[in-house]
Structure formats: C-alpha cells, structure tokens
Amino acid sequence: MSTTLDHHPDGPSRPAATTLDEAFAPLRRELLAHCYRMLGSFHDAEDAVQETYLRAWRSYASFEGRSSVRTWLHRIATNVCLTMCQSRKARALPRGLGQERSDPRATLEQSNEIPWLEPFPGTATSSGADPATAATEHARVRLALIAALQHLPARQRAALLMKEVLQWKASEIADALGTTTTSVNSSMQRARAHLAELALDEDTLAEPDDHSARELIGRYAAALERKDIPAIVELFTADAIWEMPPFLGWYQGPADIGALIDTQCPAGPGELRALPVIMNAQPALAVYIAAPGNRWEAFQIQVLDGDGQGKLSHAYVFFDTALFTAAGLPLALSGAEMRLRERRA
C-alpha cells in the first residue's frame, strides 16, 4: 500500500493527515468483515467501522508507526466492537434460543425485541483478492460460523479472531486486549473447543460460482416460485433446518419445511420471484412477492447451505427488507424490470 509518510528525525513514521483516507480505503471491506464477525450484524458493523475511522482520525497524531496501518486499525476496530458488546446482547438465531423445534402448522410467533443475527451482503473480500485468499475469507464469513461465534464471550471471540483471521501472535493479542499471554491462550483453547463441539461442516455450498451449487439453487428457486411442495421437500436433506427471524420457531426435516411453506407462506403459486444473490459469500435468494399493479415487492432473503451432495441442509430466511438495500437490490420492481433481471441472472 502506497502511503505518504510524515518523517520525524527522532521517531518512526506515521501516515500523513492528507493521505489517511487513501490508507483507510483499501482496508474498509476487511474491517467491515472483522466487525461483522464480532457483532453478527451488518448494520452494527458499518457503525463500528465508521467509529473506527473517527477514532483513527482523532488519534493519528499519536500513531508512531510501530505497527502497520492495518494492524493499528484492526486494534481500534476490535476495541470499538468490545465497547459495543458491553451494551448489547449477542445476536441470535431461533435455534440458538434453546427451544424445541416447532410445529409448522402452529401460529407463528415473532419478536422484534431479540437482537437477531444478520447476513453479510456479498463477500468478505474485495474483487482484487487472489483466489486462495478469497476462499479463506469466504469460509470465515459463512453464516453458520458467524452464528457459532456469537455464543462466545466477546473478549474470547476477539482473541480467536485476532489469532485465526488476523494471524496475530498471542503476545500481540494480549497487548491489544490489555491482558496476559496465558489468558489469551486459555481463551483461544476454550473458544476452539466450543466451535469443535458444533461440528461445523465446511463442505457445503462454499463457492457461489460452483456449477453444481448454481444448479441446485436454480432448481430450488423454480420450485419455490411454483410453490411446488413435493419438489421443495425433495431438495432438503433428512435433517435440514429452517430458521426465519424475527419468527421464534425453527423447523427440521423436509416434511416440516414443506408443511411450513405450504401453510404459512402468504404467496400462492406464481406469486414469488427468486433472484440469485450472494450473502455471506454463499448462495442466496432475494425473494420478491407479487403486489398490485404488476409489481414485485421485497419479501425475504434466503441464505442457503448445502450438504455437498446436491441437497440443501439449512435455510436462513430473513424478512428485514433493509438487507435488499444493503445488497444493492431495489425494494420494488415492475413486471418488466423483474423479467429483465431474470434474464440477466
């Protein structure tokens, strides 16, 4: 990264004020992903990055260049996130609330008081990242992992991310968190043990450009649009999970998932349109519902996991239409606009 430096005869160099924006810009997406892993919310992560930049601007005069600008900003961002975590509950998904699986035909209950986990639009890396780096970053932003991270105490989460993602030494992490190396190593050991208990399977729909993944998502989207329940059921694994915050219930098994869509979805056959999109660096669908006047309105975002064997293993369904805007999608489309987007998909 090319950055103009202020040179001081009696000390190290630091970024000049006129070039701070240039120094920050290439790191924004990386910082956003880091804050998202910490907070489990794309919108909170955007706020955290903004606060990171404000703190960096205020304190740049004290930056002595003993570390890279990247390390300096990540340290600030981590502390911003830790401060935010002190006043907010960890983000959750319905299954993480500890209740039993739900009856798909029962009345749906929802809560807007619970801080729900949010998906991350697009990928965690910039378009210029090399394939190996991009693949690693994609795995580290997958929704299942983000959900698991939220079960860790905030400082334990921070230590794990600094080690596993940022590749910091234990001594550097201890310095950033104001603790000891022994404490850091202990925190990471507990964090890894917890994640191991969850048996996260990375052999899923990891790459959105994979042909088999696109084909599976295409078949599912077509079945959803037709509201073809038998076809939908056929595409889910025997122990597949369906979650849809802000609704409290979660559902397991293709029969229950099919019954849920059949009895609870307000749209009839032909009244949904599903456009492919990328969320959390994995395949997803932006689902629109038919509205009066030959229009389609934003309805839900579905982020999808697969089993690597041609079936879906998990559907995370989000009804927050602000996610459409974050993903660069309109909240409403005319019939002509929808047809044009479908042809381009």
Residue in the structure block whose two tokens are 């629109």: 288
Q: Determine the residue type at 108.
A: L
For residues 289 and 300, what is the distance between their CA atoms, to the nearest angstrom?
9
CB atoms within 10 A of CB 255: 14
- What is the total residue count of the chain? 345
Q: Tell me the per-residue pLDDT of 199-232, one tens digit each, with 9 for 90 and over.
A: 554 444 445 457 788 899 999 999 999 999 999 9
Picking from 19-33, 190-204, 322-336, which range would have the lowest pLDDT averaged per residue? 190-204
Band (pLDDT 50/70/90 cuts) for residue 129 is low
Q: Which of the two residues, 13 and 40, has the higher pLDDT score?
A: 40
Q: Tell me the per-residue pLDDT of 233-257, one tens digit each, with 9 for 90 and over.
A: 999 999 999 999 999 999 999 999 9
For residues 39 and 33, what is the distance between their CA atoms, to the nearest angstrom?
10
pLDDT at 130: 59
How far the first Cα of the chain sits from its last, in Å, is 35
Cis before 292? omega within 30: no
Q: Exposed (0-12), middle (13-18) or buried (19+): which is 265, by Cβ within 10 Å? A: middle
Which domains occur in the chain, in start order?
A: 7-91+128-197 (1.20.140.160), 211-344 (3.10.450.50)
CB atoms within 10 A of CB 210: 13
pTM assigned to the model: 0.87
What is the DSSP track for 63-78? --SSS-HHHHHHHHHH
For residues 116 and 18, what is the distance between their CA atoms, to the nearest angstrom?
39
For residues 151 and 193, what is the distance between their CA atoms, to the nearest angstrom?
12
For residues 143 and 284, what is the distance between their CA atoms, to the nearest angstrom?
11
Which residues does residue 116 pair with via DSSP β-bridges, in sequence order?
Answer: 92
For residues 143 and 13, what is the distance between their CA atoms, to the nearest angstrom?
39
pLDDT at 3: 35
